Amino acid sequence: MTEPSPSKVRLVGVVFLVVLGMVFALAWALYTQSFRSTVTVSLQAGRVGLVMDTGNNVRLRGVEVGRVTAIEPTPQGAVLTLGLDPDQIGRIPADVIAEIVPTTAFGTKYVSLVEPPEPGPGRITEGAVLHNSAVTVELNDVFANLSRLLDSIDPAKVNATLGELARALDGRGDSIAALAAVTDGYLTDLSPKLPVLQRDLEALADVSQLYADVAPDLLRVLDNLTVTGRTVVDQADQLDAFLAGVTLLARTGDDVLRENHEGLVTALDVLRPTTDLLHEYEPGLTCFITGLDRTRQALEPGIGGASPEIRLNSTITLGQPPYENPRNLPKIGAANPPACHGLPFVDETERPTPQIRTDTGLDPHTGEVRPGRPPVAELLFGPLLTTEPSGGDS
């Protein structure tokens, strides 16, 4: 058997290396899912913390739905490129938010997609931009903060403080437990009232805003009150004199009312029928005065207007018989209700106005004129009283 030629051995070695490289490349491509299409979205975060690398998981409700394909630092933090599984897109709402959380205290981090309490109907799409809501604090941050704190304090003082605290708590475990139990009871009772407290705080914010809006007006009012108070102080003597006068007036009025209250009550009782009658005839009085004024305005042009002079029209009327008793005794027999008869505006349908009958015991139409009798003096002054001679010859 002949040995293979060196060139053939080299060729087989090269082919083996090529095949081995292709196997490794295929395994790497399968591991990184290079042959699988993804939906690319962006995640903007203020920071990503440590142990966040490309290839880390993207999870929804604990189920892997994609991977981190790229991390790019920015002045505001970092932008993560997420490659989501197209088969899982239908489960991810468009308004989803992201959190960067670790798998364990020291484990690698992953992106957790959190659905809102009431997700919208839309689904996430290619090119969407998500916003980070929280990044878990790493233990190294805690240790760094603790180290800075320990560097800034004196260990001796810390030791003394802890010693005093230990002595203060020594033997008081039961009291502390009872206090914790009471506090828990208070918190349990307070917990159902937290929504009411929240509403009260919101209302308090509105009230505070209202006070802030009216604060300039309140300050002006206080300034005015300051001026008023200063004026009262400056005029204290006049104010005292005024109050003394008011007090004296009150005492005098009290004396007058105390001495005359019965007379005032009697006067009011006596005035009641008169005021009731005036109240009853108030419509007639009002329209009579208004109509009288309108009549004055209508008659002014006929009697010379409002010039400073007096114009009189005089005539001679028949005399009336002299007063006789009991025929001419005064009598109040009117019983007419209040009426205006069209006043103050009387149209043609209301003319002449109806006659108002009043019974006063007088008859203005008792005079009698006959030719040749009576003489002029009787016409002017009424029948003259004559005395018949008591006796003698005629």
Q: pLDDT for 181-199, tens place per residue?
A: 899 888 888 888 888 888 8
Residue type, 174: D
Give the mean pLDDT of 129-140. Answer: 68
Tokens of 63: 């189920």
Among 99, 66, 98, residue whose Cα is nearest residue 82: 66
Local structure of 186: helix, strand or coil: helix
Place of tokens 């407290």: 197
Count CB-CB contacts under 10 A for residue 96.
20
Query: Lowest-pLDDT range, 34-48, 107-121, 224-238, 346-360?
Result: 346-360
The larger pLDDT score, comparing residue 366 to residue 248, is at 248
User: What local confidence, expressed as pLDDT, does residue 394 receive?
Assistant: 38
Query: Lowest-pLDDT range, 47-51, 223-227, 337-341, 371-375?
Result: 371-375
Q: pLDDT for 311-327, tens place per residue?
A: 667 777 666 667 777 77
Using DSSP bridges, classify how beta strands 77-84 and 39-45 pair: parallel, antiparallel or unpaired.
antiparallel
Give the mean pLDDT of 246-271. Answer: 88
Place of tokens 């300050």: 219
Q: How far apart are CA 177 and CA 9, in angstroms?
A: 84
Measure CA 110 to chain center.
Answer: 50
What phi and psi, each to the nearest 5 degrees, are found at residue 76? Answer: -90, -5
Q: How far apart are CA 259 and CA 252, in angstroms?
A: 11
| pLDDT band with cut points at 50, 70 and 90 for residue 364 | low
Q: How far apart are CA 183 and CA 175, in angstroms?
A: 12
DSSP state of 203: H
Give the mean pLDDT of 206-230. Answer: 88
User: What local confidence, expressed as pLDDT, does residue 370 receive?
Assistant: 47
Burial of 272 (0-12, 13-18, 19+ CB in 10 A): exposed
* 38 contacts 86 by C-beta, under 8 angstroms: yes
CA distances to 45, 50, 335, 344 from 57, rounded to whole Å, are 16, 15, 111, 100
User: What local confidence, expressed as pLDDT, does residue 50 receive?
Assistant: 61
What phi and psi, each to the nearest 5 degrees, are found at residue 81? Answer: -95, 125
Percentage, residues of the chain above pLDDT 90? 1
